[in-house]
A and B are shown apart, each in its own frame.
Chain A
């Protein structure tokens, strides 16, 4: 009896495994896999074989201290390593959690170099290489017309300087130029690389809320550091409004003060939502091919004639969005800094 039982169990497991591999195509899961961060860089899956680049996992738990290992040890979330595993529960979904001896699950401090981290580090290295070589070209060919890459990037640099920084900030714009240029090109290149489906491109960097958050924090810090007395007076004692809006209930000061934070939160959401939406829609069109392909082979090929042109069109649109969102984030950062440097009213 006993062996039979185990056999049936085996069968069941095989069944469920088959269901997992050959079962119905889950568009939601496919899209989420692509847009979420991951501990490994998944390249492709052939039958049951997952091909992916392992990335370093860095964990610090209160019990076991610092742990650094490659994500290949976790076997794509199928096994645990030294008590660490990738959670499949609703809570901490897709994140590494620690199973304590008493069976409870806690989240350790997770400083892993994930897919998104690698993607933006690559963009940063690319930017350092690109702009340092351009800077050298400027030093070598002084007072000469721009050559090669200079030609491509100089209009953008001048655009940020003349159309973004100078009108928004005013005379003291030069101090903020390095930040604004870095911001613009970092967003722009990450967005563009995000559209290239070959590693190290294809990661959803700006569509991960943590990245715009850090940039908005930088802008917020700049706003606070460059704010003048008059800026704070405008917030807490707005001139030219009826007194009963400020006293006894400080309605307007409260709104103004909250808007200071909301402005920057909106900055994050605008960029993040735009980029993630672009990725989701493009992936949705691809998902259509597989959904129809499951119904009939002909359907899959048929819909691909619609999906592929649409995806091409969307990618072109996303190139535009990559520029526009980089521009908008930079412009609004410059505007907020410019507003913070308010001079006394005349």
Chain B
């Protein structure tokens, strides 16, 4: 029975001191400890969520960047294509113009040549006529220097005419 009978003195001191212990520890130990534990947990979870947010932000930036790069590439290709087209147009036009110019020059040259040729021919004809007259004169003078010859000739011509 001794073992299971609570002692009055012990009950009293335990009641008093346990109450005091509760009050002291609650005020000076458990409150600060639990508060700082909670604060630390909050700051950790906050840091984690901030990190998560930053990661999401990075992800978004990355996709944005990629989109921008893709757009830029498309733009570049478009610009290049346009430039190529413009170049081709310019080259074509230049070619056309050059061809036309060439044709024109050739035409003019041909005309000139024709004129020159005609003029040259005229000159040659004139020269040839003069030369033949000169030659004929010389031949005639040669032939008609002797009288017999002259008579023979007249006769011949006369013959020709008579025959006709």
Contact = CB atoms under 8 A, between A and B. Distances in A.
A36 interface: yes
Contact of A94 (B2, B8, B18): B2
Interface residues of B, number: 34
Contacts of A111: 8-9, 12-13
B131 interface: no
Contact of B6 (A110, A154, A213): A213
B58 to A, nearest CB: 25
Do most interface residues of chain B lie in helix, strand or loop, or is the interface mixed?
A: helix
B7 A214 contact: no
A209 B5 contact: yes
Interface in B1-43: 2-15, 17-18, 20-22, 24-26, 28-34, 36-37, 39-40, 43
Nearest to B21: A124
A36 B7 CA distance: 11
A181 B12 contact: no
B25 A182 contact: yes
Interface in A131-177: 131-132, 134-136, 138-139, 142-143, 154, 157-158, 161, 174, 177
Contacts of A95: 7
Interface in B58-88: none
A181 B11 contact: no
B4 A181 contact: no
Interface string A196-226: 0000000000001111011101100000000
Contacts of A116: 10
A112 interface: yes
Contacts of B7: 37, 95, 110, 114, 208, 210
A128 interface: yes
Interface of B: 2-15, 17-18, 20-22, 24-26, 28-34, 36-37, 39-40, 43
Interface of A: 35-37, 58, 93-95, 109-114, 116-117, 120-121, 124, 127-128, 131-132, 134-136, 138-139, 142-143, 154, 157-158, 161, 174, 177-179, 181-182, 186, 208-211, 213-215, 217-218, 272, 276
29 contacts: A95-B7, A110-B7, A114-B10, A116-B10, A120-B17, A121-B17, A124-B17, A124-B18, A127-B21, A128-B24, A128-B25, A128-B28, A131-B28, A134-B33, A135-B33, A136-B32, A143-B39, A143-B40, A157-B33, A157-B34, A178-B31, A182-B21, A182-B22, A186-B21, A213-B11, A214-B11, A214-B14, A217-B15, A218-B22
